Amino acid sequence: MKYVLLALAGILALTSTAQAADTVEGYWLTQNERAVVKISPCADSVCGKVYWIIDGGLQYDEHNPDEAMRTRPMCGLQILGDFEKAGENAWDSGYIYKADEGDMYAANIALQDDGTLKLRGYMGISLLGKTQVWNRVNPSDYKACRAPS
């Protein structure tokens, strides 16, 4: 009986891990490996907020074109949003805020078969854009940032 319970617990753990890997929700290391973004449900969409920032990374939204926003902490800042579901693991018509430039771009995100997240930011039409590939990470491997005091 003990072994049956252990096997069942193992199967449930694998199932929940597989389900987590089949969604855009989760923790994603950006392509440049300078931040981890937590993507989670947000109204009828998904949103992404800064969860971790590399040591020495951008701490405030200092490049924001709105001078009043330049003291806003990067930690916890929503940088992805307003996406529309476009398929089982695809979201279109959203935005990404590129804080190191202070620019907002239209964006699409899609979970790839290899478990990575493809994010395409663009101006006007998707053809005029740039694609990044983000990797899913375990949040316990990255210490959650805290807004500077």
Whichever domain contains 99, its CATH number is: 2.40.128.520
With tokens 């990797």, the residue in question is 135
Q: How many domains does the chain have?
A: 1
With a pLDDT cut of 70, the percent of the chain lying above it is 85
Tell me how far apart the alpha carbons of residues 77 and 8 are, in angstroms, rounded to a whole number. Answer: 40
Using CA atoms, how far residue 37 sits from 46, 49, 51, 65, 89, in Å, is 12, 5, 5, 22, 17
**pLDDT tens-place string over residues 116-131:** 999 999 998 888 899 9
| Residue 149 covered by a domain | no
> Which residue segment(s) compose the domain that 63 sits in?
2-141
| Residue 106 covered by a domain | yes
| Residue 148 covered by a domain | no
pLDDT at residue 72, as a whole number: 95
pTM for this prediction = 0.83
Segment 40-49 mean pLDDT:
93
Nearest CA to 25 out of 40, 47, 42, 43 is that of 40
